Structure 1
Amino acid sequence: MFTLKDLKTEPPEWLLYPESQELLACLEGAGGEGRFVGGCVRDALLGIVSEDLDICTSLPPDEVMYALKEEGIRVLPTGLKHGTVTAMLGERRFEVTTLREDVETYGRHAEVRFTDDWQEDAARRDFTFNALYMEGDGTLHDYFGGLADLERGLVRFIGDPVERIKEDYLRILRYFRFLGRFSGTIFDQRSMEACRTERSGIRQLSAERIAKEILTLLATDDPSFAVEKMIETEVWAQVFKSPANWIRFQGLMRTQLRRPDPILRLAALIAGELPDPSFMRHGLRLSNRQMKRLEALWTYRDLATDSRPFEEQIYRLGRDTYYDQVSLLIADDPDNPHWKLQQEEGMKWQMPEFPVSGQDLLETGLAAGPEIGIKLKELEQFWIDEKFQPSKSDLLSRY
């Protein structure tokens, strides 16, 4: 349950911007009306400040463009075909969209018709709490019970969930993302079942969009409930082509509940569930940095059978990779104190820097060539075996 703010007595910060009021006045002066809509209104009710400010207006797009230009407001036709322009007032950006209704939808694309009916515009949106409109004085308009749903933390599609999903299959993943953000243990049965029955439509989505939704979900404070439902509805298997390691993920959440780390959480769910992580490079299109981190976690259990001192393990793996791998070992067995102690000790250890370079060996008289690299590795291993104690001069005296 959430306690919602009264936006008339506690208006959001962005509503008080002079630019916000100037823009609304401009639309009204042209004979139309403007209302803030969507995420900025939803978040304001929860006391969260949003920087993504969307306004709907009853004016047609060409009249919006004309009115803004007449007032000296810079305007960009960013999505004119679908009724959206971007108004630039100083450093503030506002997306201004004409009220519309869908004539026909084609996945993420739709043929729209402009309208002056606010409820028709609301009916084409995804979830009830994303169809809340607010006037410049804080007056709210709620056409589909979004306020009550937001207060309960209930994520519910507007109208027929199957129809909403067929209009845009990304809404399946958005459903679970919002479930992770807002819901504790409640869900709308019709919405959940629609995600299950329409899950194959996820194949139509780009890898980039899938990655963004999954990582945003896993970055919430506690995505456990949403992930569990993704697994139960087989949406997870549809995305990843493999089962999720739910037990390991629960272990990670027990030990790092309030440390949102989407890549580490993703690794807890999938590391080792496929022969190698190459699917992630194409199936999710992760960044190179994210992909390297995930690949380094794929064989984390090798660390459990590594007999080298933890200092050498850290030196070879790098501090960040060592921390990640031990985190998953802790997740495998949260009640065993061994790896937690190893991790704590490892994070205290000050990792030294190998003091000898290839140039140093050349200056001792060794000939340039592959032999330099071999000797350098031998010397480094000796330095490690001696607990990182030999100085540069001690090491070079061996040649």
Structure 2
Amino acid sequence: MNSPDHRLKDLFDERGQGVNVTGDLAERAIARDLANRRRQLTTAVAAGALAVAVAVPIGWNLIGSNRAGQVPANPSPTLVSTVPVPTPSLTTGSPKPQTTPTITARGADSSVVVDPSGGPVTGTSPIAYLVDGEFRDGSRTVRLPDVGTATFVAHVGDGGILVGGQVDFQSVLFVFDADGTEITRLPTVSRAVVSDDGSHFLASNQAGDLGYYDATGKQLNRLSAESCDCAVDGSPGGYEAVGLIGTTAYAAERNNQFASVKWDVTDTTTTDIDARIAAVNAARQIALVTPSGLKQSEQQCQELWDLRTLRPMWRLCHPLRITTFSGDGSYLLAHGQVDGLGDQWVKPDGTFFYEPVVLIRTDDAEVVLQVASGQSFAMDGTSGKVTVQHAVGQGKSALSTCTLEGSCEVVAPAVSPNPGPYDPADHPPYVLSDN
């Protein structure tokens, strides 16, 4: 286990609070790894993770945009059962048993449903993106070197760019300066999250090591995979980076569907959390988790926790793959069409309850917006719009922004995927920035 870098304390003085930014750097490679691991562990552990959102059972794969038409126009109503939540008193690793407002999501009549189409560009995306080897952020365009198949992009440092790619079927995290010159590359990194000021990031590699880095990619501290007592039947243990708030990092344990750790990055101190954390938002200090108390449930349920008290705010049982928060924490973004669901999570005719993109309000777990033909999405904390990459026919994809009221405008034109050395079917042409 490495000692902290001697500059670490100086860097902490420069830091403020952070906001979680998550991204999956090698969806297909990790998905295959998790699927293989599941076959080895079916007698030991409940299936529970995808590469992008670790709280969802293995084998739940996204359905392509061609399935969007299967969703009926009038989904069945949301069922709600609410009881009071007592005042919390917990400050340690897991919440005490308590009754929690519970919502079962089986379609939502009140949500707005939109189906953006292609056409001329009429607006500007509030979210930066990578397409055809260029990073575009408003009027700024930066040409980047070849990163193989890009799967993740985020702002870092003073105009720097963090890009995840697949090179020779191996995941690599690249750090570029503001001009697009490579500063650092970190091999085998499978997941990264960035602080809100861009000055630091947290990353986990394929071996399960957790690293804390400055904006240039210099490692400041490390939590070894060997410190996680989570290796099972020869399958390596370790951690998956999930969130970074100030000098506190959050990571899920591998091979354990219901365990995470909180790591003080100033040293090697960790605190066990009796739940699997899937997403963290620093603006509101909240997290989406799957607590261990739900391990016997036949339903896919997750809870929203206040990270300051580890108090559950609500529980949502649903057929969704929730991946991330909006920048300000006001909404959760989810994929609404997921393969491999049990019978209770699909309609009698086998169709899905939701459109491909679903927006959930964090205040009350209400589904407020659905977007047809969606492939990927991101939402900042200021514009009030969700940016969606969506299919427009002939194998092409465009970007549109949609308001919660249901109006959409095209912000980037329809383009075809760049085939590169990989099958482009799993990699639409636009990669939206995570911050």
**TM-score for the superposition, normalised by structure 2:** 0.23
Q: Which has the larger radius of gyration?
A: 1
Higher strand share: 2
**TM-score for the superposition, normalised by structure 1:** 0.25
> Which gives a bigger RCO, structure 1 or 2 (Cα 8 Å, sep 6+)?
2
Higher helix share: 1
